[in-house]
Structures are given as structure tokens and as C-alpha cells.
Chain A
Amino acid sequence: MEEEHHYSSASEPERVSPSISRSAALEALKNGPRGALVIAATAVGLLLVGWLLFYFVVFLTRGAVG
């Protein structure tokens, strides 16, 4: 199959992966970026939990100052 030219950051032509077909891409993306959402939500969730822990366990326990 003749590869059409496309840009790649790979150093050798042999390391350039073949392009996928449009129909395969459509199939993979038809439900939206679920995997990315899981990763992003996990990261934000961990940050939120960390923030809450520091706030209640470290900051508030050190007493009110005004």
C-alpha cells in the first residue's frame, strides 16, 4: 500500500506508523473522549481530595487566627 506523505517526528521512515482509515477513526471516537475524561477526572479528583485533606487536617487543626 502506497503511503501518502505525512509529517512525523520519527527519525526513520521505518518507524512511522501507517495512517488509520477514516472509518476506524470514526469508530474509535464515536463515543467522545471517554478515556481522556477518565484520566482528567481522576487527576482533578485527586487534587480536590488532597486540597480538602490539607484544609481540614492541617490548616483548620492549627486554629483560627484573625
Chain B
Amino acid sequence: MAELLNNEGASGLIPEETVERTERRWLFAMATVLGLMLAVVVFTGVTQMMNPLSDVETINPATLHLQGEFVESNLGTAVETDGSITLRFLAEQYTFVPQCAVVPAGTLIRFRLTSPDVTHGFFVGTTNTNAMVVPGYVTNVMARFEHPGTYTMPCDEFCGFGHHAMAASVVVVPKEQFTKLRPEERITTCGAQ
């Protein structure tokens, strides 16, 4: 009777050198795949100046509303002397203040956010602008929006019961239209836009 395989499995059936050669080739293939992905990320990150946020800028979360950069009258869109825009938001449970801001297209936008209560996050829909907002620190992100439109900016870090409803809007308008806006039209709520 031919010798049957029962419960011994495949041990001893495949030559050792075949097993080792197969494993070596697979290891080489996987290392190549991982190396390729790493090289792509590093190359594009270096050449396009895409970096994780590395600034550590602290602020007192208890007095944001009383003094300093994030008092209510200073929130929203501010035009700098070099033509760039600084966009300041407060992220708090469960809203961004202001809830809407108007910015010009094709301009350097500097997002500056902080929080008086818990950790939040934000991202500007369909763009790569995405960062955490941590109480006690100022989040600084630079971006440029080429296409006009209304971008939803939800909170993307769980912050409590109302997290799912926490979102702001960033309204990107053509530069010519932006320059015609009065300052109060840029920083007050844009409502249903």
C-alpha cells in the first residue's frame, strides 16, 4: 500500500533549500515594495516642503478670551502686510469660532488655531489641510486654495458628545471679489454659504 499522508502535514515534503530560497525571494520583494513607498514619501516630502508640523507654540488656554491673539475681535480672516492671510479660529466644544470665514483663492493662508477646552482637530474638506488643535498650544498650518468654493471644515478629533456636529466653513472666493469685501464681511459669520 502506498504510504499515505495522515496528520504529519507537509514537513519534510519540500526541500529545505526550496523553502529558504522562496522565503528569501519573498523577503526581497517585500523589502523592495516598502523601500519604494518610503522613497516616494521622503522624496516628495523633501522636494515639496511637506512637513509634519514641528513648531511648538504655547498659549494660556484659560485667558484666550481676555487677552492676546485669540480674543473674539481678532478671530477670522486677517490680511497681512505682505498680502497673505492669517485665519484664526478657536476650536471649542462644540463649535469653531467663527463658524465661517472668507479667504481669497491662490493666496498663502496661515491657519492659526487653539482650544480653550479639549483636544480637537480640523481638516478642510478635499484638501490636505489637516491638523490637531490642542489646548495650551497654537496650531500653525500654511495652505493655499486654488479653487473657489465652500469647503467644510469639520472637527476630526473626538471631543465629546457634540463632536459629530462640529464644523466650520471656509469660503474661498476669487481674489478680486475678496478685495471688495469690507473687513467685517470677511470675519463675521457667512451663514448659509
| Residues from chain A with Cβ under 8 Å of B3 in the complex | 21-23
Provide the bound-state CA to CA distance between A52 and B38, in Å: 11
Write the A1-23 contact mask toward B (1 if CB under 8 angstroms, else 0): 10011110000000000111111
Provided the pairs A6-B6, A65-B127, A65-B141 are in contact, do residues A32 and B14 lie with their beta carbons within 8 angstroms? Answer: yes
Q: Pull 29 A–B residue pairs with CB atoms less than 8 Å apart, ordered by A.
A: A1-B1, A19-B4, A19-B5, A20-B4, A21-B3, A21-B5, A22-B2, A22-B5, A23-B2, A26-B13, A29-B14, A31-B18, A32-B19, A32-B22, A33-B14, A33-B22, A41-B29, A44-B29, A44-B33, A51-B37, A55-B44, A59-B128, A60-B48, A62-B128, A64-B48, A64-B128, A65-B129, A65-B130, A66-B49
Chain A, Cβ-Cβ closest to B44: A60
In A34-66, which residues have CB < 8 Å from any B CB?
A: 37, 40-41, 44, 48, 51-52, 55, 59-60, 62-66
A32, B15: Cα distance in complex, Å: 8
Tell which of B5, B44, B129 has the most Cβ of chain A within 10 Å.
B5
Judge whether B2 and A6 touch: CB under 8 Å. no
